[in-house]
Structure 1
Amino acid sequence: MGESSRDVKTQELELNRYIRYLRERLFFEPDSPIFHYNLGLAYARKGQRAEAIAEFRQAIACDPSMAQAYVNLGGLYFQEGDLDKCIEANQKAVELDPTLAMAYSNLGFAYLQKGDPEAAIAACQKAVALMPELLQAHNNLAVAYLQKGQWQESIAASRKVLDIKPDFAPAHFNLHVAYEALGEKDKAATYRRQAEALGYPMAP
């Protein structure tokens, strides 16, 4: 069951109160990177991307070592459709903290969108080495391997996705594509049906 409209409205009121609180604190502590960072998160939750970007950038101005602010900034740039800025921000994040699995995963996804599967594979391999249960990174790997025609590697990556989340429709579809390319029609058809049953959009 979804949240009731009352619950949603209550959460929205609480979020607005939290934003007011952070803005008041920043009036007295304008150089606090934590307050700017938290305000950026709050604006991002409200879908106010421009305001969130401004706050994350201000957090970084106050503390240039705040790697997580770069990760969030990169995610917002991705939503804005600016892949180059997304990549730049996440690269800065991993320069500051090489253990940030999500930054590597974000890089992998951005590289996929730019049509660079080799760079995507390298980034996502780092992500899953740091966080083996990071589903999106495994799925990015599966897609990147498909783009390079590495069918068995793609199958292995998709199977890892399904180990984590058995009803993840894109993984079923990726398996369909890989098995179709290998000429294993029965397996391809099975995974196609599963993807369709889970609501994955199929080309006619």
Structure 2
Amino acid sequence: DARAKQLVGVNEEDHLILAHQSYKSGKYSQALEHGNAVYEKNPRRTDNLLLLGAIYFQLRDYDLCIAKNEEALAIDPQFAECYGNMANAWKEKGDIDLAIRFYLTAIQLRPNFCDAWSNLASAYTRKGRLNEAAQCCKQALLLNPRLVDAHSNLGNLMKAQGLVQEAYACYLEAIRIDPHFAIAWSNLAGLFMEVGDLNKAMQYYKEAVKLKPSFADAHLNQGNVYKRLWECSRRQFLVISVLCRHAPTTPWLTVILPLSTMSNASLIWQFIVTIRLYYVILGLWKHTITWAMHLKMLGE
């Protein structure tokens, strides 16, 4: 086809440059085409094998990611980045212990490998080894203070220990360094979801999805926020349905249900309650005792 004909006349170095460019711009299928073209010309080129492994990782083909890195290591057993890539793949496949082993190997081969330190922190976190994870994050940030992954991972550690303000600061720092880092936006959303601010959680999950449309976890968590917002709206709907039958005053209602947290349906019900108040004001005394009983019931 036309695409294949275009690739025929491109030399090995240009293919590799185009593969890197496509990878950085998120065009993984195109990156794979160029990487495979290099592989056909020179299957022992380890930098291309490393890139192919990274491409397959982004395409969620973790077995091929591991296979390409193993090919590179068969040629160059000291290639630390390959161990780091394999560790990432094994972590996604759920074998955290093996991932940790490969991260440690990568760090042993290259002690200043800041990405490996940061990813090792993530693996330790998943094993519940929070102190070791924090040490790894701090080591990564000593090596590279602008490493957004490490800031975000450190934020996750702070959140796991209940240190909300510290976690918030870590996520904000990651976003300050790289406003397009979708993972930090998603983690920030998760923090607000935990503290119950669903509106901000939704706002930040939307930002994460906007920055990375293929971000499956952000899509899933966004759905969870929608569910919780619906449940809140449903509870408010039921409360206002009760209040509507007993003529509450608007000031009381806004104390119970702040406007900032009310859904459109709730606002409509508040309007109905307010209008009804004027129609029944002459008979309000009849409802005083009943209203007090319902307030007590709602308080319980």
TM above 0.5, yes or no, is yes
| Structure with larger RCO (C-alpha < 8 A, sep 6+) | 1
Tell me, yes or no, if structure 1 residue 70 matches structure 2 residue 83.
yes
- What residue is the counterpart of 1:148 in the other structure? 161
Q: Go from structure 1 to structure 2 and tell me whether the alpha carbon gap of 1:149 and 1:60 turns closer, same or farther (over 3 Å shift).
A: same
Contact in 1 for aligned 2:53/2:67 (Cα 8 Å) = yes
Q: Go from structure 1 to structure 2 and tell me whether the alpha carbon gap of 1:156 and 1:198 turns closer, same or farther (over 3 Å shift).
A: closer
Deviation at 1:48, TM superposition (A): 3.4
Q: Go from structure 1 to structure 2 and tell me whether the alpha carbon gap of 1:47 and 1:23 turns closer, same or farther (over 3 Å shift).
A: farther
- What residue is the counterpart of 1:19 in the other structure? 36
Contact in 2 for aligned 1:83/1:114 (Cα 8 Å) = yes
Q: Go from structure 1 to structure 2 and tell me whether the alpha carbon gap of 1:144 and 1:33 turns closer, same or farther (over 3 Å shift).
A: same
Contact in 2 for aligned 1:75/1:106 (Cα 8 Å) = yes
The correspondence for 2:143, drawn from 117, 130, 147, is 130
Could you say what secondary structure the match of 1:198 adopts? helix
TM-score (norm 1): 0.72
Contact in 2 for aligned 1:145/1:151 (Cα 8 Å) = yes
Give 2:147's aligned amino acid.
L
- What residue is the counterpart of 1:53 in the other structure? 66
Could you say what secondary structure the match of 1:115 adopts? coil
Tell me, yes or no, if structure 1 residue 170 matches structure 2 residue 176.
no
Distance 1:14 1:37 in 2: 13
Tell me, yes or no, if structure 1 residue 195 matches structure 2 residue 201.
yes
Deviation at 1:107, TM superposition (A): 0.8
Q: Go from structure 1 to structure 2 and tell me whether the alpha carbon gap of 1:153 and 1:64 turns closer, same or farther (over 3 Å shift).
A: same
Contact in 2 for aligned 1:161/1:171 (Cα 8 Å) = no
- What residue is the counterpart of 2:108 in the other structure? 95
Give 2:89's aligned amino acid.
L
Give 2:142's aligned amino acid.
A
- What residue is the counterpart of 1:3 in the other structure? none
Distance 1:11 1:33 in 2: 19
Greater displacement, 39-48 / 137-146: 39-48
- What residue is the counterpart of 2:4 in the other structure? none
Could you say what secondary structure the match of 2:111 adopts? coil
Deviation at 1:151, TM superposition (A): 3.9
Distance 1:21 1:141 in 2: 38
Q: Go from structure 1 to structure 2 and tell me whether the alpha carbon gap of 1:14 and 1:151 turns closer, same or farther (over 3 Å shift).
A: closer
Deviation at 1:37, TM superposition (A): 2.9
Distance 1:106 1:25 in 2: 30
TM-score (norm 2): 0.52
Distance 2:97 2:117 in 1: 15
The runs of at least 4 consecutive aligned structure 1 residues that moved more than 4 Å come to none
User: What is the count of residue pairs matched by the alignment?
Assistant: 181
The correspondence for 1:107, drawn from 94, 99, 120, is 120
Could you say what secondary structure the match of 2:73 adopts? helix
Give 2:170's aligned amino acid.
A
Distance 1:171 1:104 in 2: 22
Give 1:65's aligned amino acid.
Q
Give 2:187's aligned amino acid.
P
Contact in 2 for aligned 1:37/1:55 (Cα 8 Å) = yes
Deviation at 1:47, TM superposition (A): 4.1
Deviations 1:121-160 (A, max 9, x none): 1111112222222222212111212222334432332332
Q: Go from structure 1 to structure 2 and tell me whether the alpha carbon gap of 1:79 and 1:176 turns closer, same or farther (over 3 Å shift).
A: closer
The correspondence for 1:40, drawn from 45, 53, 58, is 53
Deviation at 1:175, TM superposition (A): 5.5
Q: Which has the higher helix share?
A: 2
Give 1:69's aligned amino acid.
C
Contact in 1 for aligned 2:28/2:55 (Cα 8 Å) = no
